[in-house]
Amino acid sequence: MWTQHAAERTASGTLAIAAHPMGAAIAMAGELGLAGYEFYVLGRGGAMGDVKADVIASALSFFEPGWVRGHYVAGAAKISPPEAALAWNARIGQWAETGLSADLPLRRLCDLLGRVLDAAPLAGAPIFAGWRTMPEPVSLPALTMHRLYGLRELRGGLHAGAVRAAGLTPLQALLIRTPPLAAPWGWPEPHPDVSGLTSAWLSAEGATNRAVASLLGCLTEQEAGQLADDIDSVVAHTGMMWWYREDTPAIQFGPRPGQAQPADRDSRQ
């Protein structure tokens, strides 16, 4: 049970943390002559190599496939996908150099993440599989963020499989969990009614957390709890919090009720 709780905190915290460097990387797309979402699609999908657009669309499960193909083809005409993935990795590492404070338990977190990712099976997580073959950064902040991002891609692949196994389409899951993202991620309106599908989504989320818990099996219960605590520390430091209310699976942004808002990020660096 404790490992399950640690898995839930680890999975949700990793998603929150990754939002920062990914946003920073998108903002730097122009340096490569790319539009923001072209860099996003190539940077993430390019970890799998120079593959066909449909392969990328299948891996970026929650984006409308035609939207992915369009951005991928347009971006690949300007830079090769593997080169874009290396640049994406570098931009994420650059963010970590200033975005992760030396006061955080980075060494312990980095070591625990490394053990989890090294032991993780590759099945069902193609972007993670590609990401794991990429060169790791040298500096501790960049390496920690690289591994946090790897866990984010691993969790994403597992969640996509759990959603399909629960009988949901990617769009239905997106509308239940983060409905404001449907339009910017390419899904045209009108969107389907998902009001009766909450239980299916909660089943998929539970299956995802159980899969993440199985990944933590290479750690002791104490280490799994420490990993979750360290990720919580990074989430609080970066100021990006999200959580699930008991009455709805939709993401809630900010601290939970009764939880202190983290201090202004600039004051912590």
Q: What is the pLDDT of residues 34-92, one digit of tens each?
A: 999 999 999 999 999 999 999 999 999 999 999 999 999 999 999 999 999 999 999 99
Token readout for 189 is 């309106």
pTM of the model: 0.87
Alpha-carbon distance of 102 to 139, in angstroms, equals 12
3-class DSSP state for residue 208?
helix
Indicate if the pLDDT at residue 203 is higher than 70.
Answer: yes
Q: What separation, in Å, do the N-terminal and C-terminal C-alpha atoms of the chain show?
A: 36
Alpha-carbon distance of 36 to 114, in angstroms, equals 30
Q: How many domains does the chain have?
A: 1
Range of the domain at 127: 2-268
Q: What is the pLDDT at residue 13?
A: 78
Q: What is the pLDDT of residues 205-251, one digit of tens each?
A: 999 999 999 999 999 999 999 999 999 888 888 765 444 434 433 34
Q: What is the pLDDT of residues 111-141, one digit of tens each?
A: 999 999 999 999 999 999 999 999 999 999 9
Phi, psi of 259 (to 5 degrees): -100, 135
Alpha-carbon distance of 191 to 179, in angstroms, equals 10
H or E stretch including 75? Answer: helix 65-76
Local structure of residue 135 (DSSP, 8 states): P
Dihedral sign from CA coordinates of 244, 246, 249, 254:
negative
Longest dimension (CA), the chain: 50
